[in-house]
Amino acid sequence: MSESASRMSPEKWMEVWPEALEIWGRYIKLKEPRFTRRKKIPGKDSATPLAYIDLRQMQVVVGMDQVERYGLQDLSLEILAHEVGHHVFAPGDLLDAGRCISRIRKSLRELAGESAIILNMYTDLLINHRLQSFGLSMDQVYRRMRSSAADPLWDLYMRTYEILWKLPADSLCSVVDEETEADAAVAAQVIRSFAADVVRGSGMFGAICYYYLKKNGSARARRNMEPMLDAEHSMEEGQIPDGLVESDEDEDAECSYPVFDESGEWKNPKDNEADKSESGSGGRGQTRMPLDYHQILEAMGIKISAEEAAMQYYREKARPYLVPFPVSESVESTERQLEGYEVWQPGQMLERINWFQTLLRSPVVIPGYTTVQNRYGTSPGPEKGIRPVDLDLYVDCSGSMPRPTISLSYPTLAGAIIALSALRAGARVQATLWSGPDQWLKTDGFVRDEKEILKVLVGYFGGGTAFPLHVLRKTYLEQSVPDRKVHLLVISDEGVDTIFQNDELGNAGEQIAKQALEKAGGGGTFALQLYSSWEKNQQLIRASELGFRIHEVGSAEDLTRFARSFAKARYGKDSTGQKAQK
């Protein structure tokens, strides 16, 4: 490399920046690159790689120390174009990155924690192969970064490039054994076959890398790959893509070691199934569990707690089911308004005479001439409007219920669907999570804060069962009557009958429930998962007699259908005022 090239300044890199954008498209909008000599990425423990994209700033960041360490000053176009490729092609967006991570995690099994490394290798292969075909010298980057350290994963990676670019063996790495040669050939075929469908090939590539990652351990692989790990730094913390709750339909089939026929076509394992699906691989499959969802986000580099991930999970899971919440209409009123005065005629009621105005007109009172009375018109009062029915929600999280942050909890999902629907309609929500005695969590009264409500719903106690009568008592009997109608909704199972026990003060639960229902004014519902008809349960019969509507669900999944139809069936668009309480 010439002396002038070795001294290439950032200004020279800026000259090729428009060309790097033009390679991928004419309308790509990114800030001008930023050049740094930081040893670590701000806010992270990771060392600064050659380059990466800061999604928060929408800007490519170039680590000049690394560039100079490997003598890559004259390959500015290759490096900049590669980073733009991560933004627009592989993975392109956070949703596709998450879908790829999910597949790679499955293919790596117990090594799923290293999914980010494999995703980085896979997307780099896709981008670099395309850029090499455009005439850029991507091979020169790896020639100069060639490592003398023996690492099976690195050798597989470099040999894949040699096959893709038809380079002689030993161009980028030492001559490999027959097994690595065969696996590199399959990896190259995956890159060629799925260049237009980035997500589908990710799990297959992970399956190829699994044994190589396992041979020397993930720590060594990460150390060797560190200068190249740019994609895992592209994920913006706090930016969570929608669409990761549901898995892809063919995800499991596409996370195994790939097999290609003689013509180079991939053999889909599902093709051998008698009842294969007619839908394409882009269809959505089963719902992921909240734990899997959280682990995918963490593998993407998004720092998020299990609680925060669960809140996002149930928010997204509930969104397709949201419906307007029950409302009641306020009646339009009219008020009398003084418009002026008119002559009072004999024969009219004497008390209508406005004596003050009469005497102002003339000190001599002549009935029918000087006597006047007030003339009134009407003025419209408050316009006829809609007043949402507030929601008082009680969700059972005793030991018979799943933990919402690990498994899909249908009571939590049902509560989220109804609570978010209520917020959408303008209502306020008080959410209470309950289990055994002294095991309860609630919002600070009736609120419109979505995060506060979801934070309560994704909580968990897993203890015994004791309905929080003290919450019911304090809300309706110890405080002023609510200024708007409230609907009481309890999501539970047979344990709901603890509502008829005495509270901590010795008050009868039945009386508390009865008075609370009367003061709430918006009706009450028990949505219960039961193993026999509620009409055979004397306690539930008593609840029905008090005015609670009992909705029986045969399975946990039925709660979702109940939540969706709750507002429609029982509080339809025309169900207002007294009708809404029936």
What pLDDT is recorded for position 247? 87
Q: Which residue has the higher pLDDT, 5 or 85?
A: 85
Coil, strand or helix: which one is 366? coil
Judged against a pLDDT cut of 80, whether residue 386 lies above it is answered with no
C-alpha span between 262 and 275 (Å, rounded): 26
Q: Which of 110, 93, 103, 92 is nearest to 248 (CA)?
A: 103
Q: How far is CA 193 from the centre of its chain?
A: 32
Which percentage of the chain shows pLDDT scores above 70?
84
Lowest-pLDDT choice from 259-273, 336-350, 456-470: 259-273
Average pLDDT, the chain: 83
> Per-residue pLDDT averaged across 331-353, rounded?
73
| 277, pLDDT greater than 60 | no
- 387-581 folds as Rossmann fold (3.40.50)
Could you read off the pLDDT of 237-262 as tens digits, one per residue?
557 888 899 988 778 778 888 888 77
Q: How many CA atoms lie within 13 A of 72 on its CB side?
A: 28
Label residue 578 by pLDDT band (50, 70, 90): very low
Q: What is the pLDDT of residue 51?
A: 87
Position 63 scores a pLDDT of 87
Q: In which band, very low, low, confident or very high, does the pLDDT at 577 lie, cut at 50, 70 and 90?
A: very low
pLDDT in tens, 47-61: 678 888 877 778 898
pLDDT at 276 over 50: no
Least-confidence region, from 1-5, 14-18, 306-310: 1-5
**pLDDT class of 226 with cuts at 50, 70, 90:** confident
pLDDT tier at 2, thresholds 50, 70, 90: very low
214, with CB counted inside 10 A (0-12, 13-18, 19+), is middle
pLDDT recorded at residue 236 = 54
Report pLDDT for 570. Answer: 46
For residue 360, pLDDT beyond 60: yes
Q: What is the pLDDT of residues 149-206, one digit of tens each?
A: 668 888 999 999 999 999 999 899 888 899 999 999 999 999 999 988 899 899 999 9
In words, the CATH class of domain 1-88 is alpha beta
Q: What would the two tokens of residue 252 be? A: 């499991």
The rounded distance, in Å, linking the Cα atoms of 89 and 133 is: 15
pLDDT at 80: 95
Q: Region 327-338: what's the mean pLDDT? A: 58
Which pLDDT does position 278 carry in this prediction? 42
Return the exposure string of 18-30: e unless at least 16 CB atoms fall within 10 Å of the residue's CB, then b: eebbebbeeeeeb
Q: What is the pLDDT of residues 401-430, one digit of tens each?
A: 899 999 999 999 999 999 998 888 888 999
Burial of 505 (0-12, 13-18, 19+ CB in 10 A): exposed
Residue 1 pLDDT > 60, yes or no?
no
Most confident of 230-234, 316-320, 572-576: 316-320
pLDDT in tens, 485-507: 999 999 998 889 999 999 988 99
pLDDT computed for residue 233 by the predictor? 54
Region(s) of the chain under CATH 3.40.50.410: 387-581
Per-residue pLDDT, 284: 57
CATH 3.30.2010 range(s) for the chain read 1-88
Q: In what order do the strands lie in the sheet with 390-396?
A: 440-442, 429-434, 390-396, 486-492, 521-529, 548-553
- Confidence class of residue 393 from pLDDT cuts 50, 70 and 90? very high
Mean pLDDT of 517-538: 89
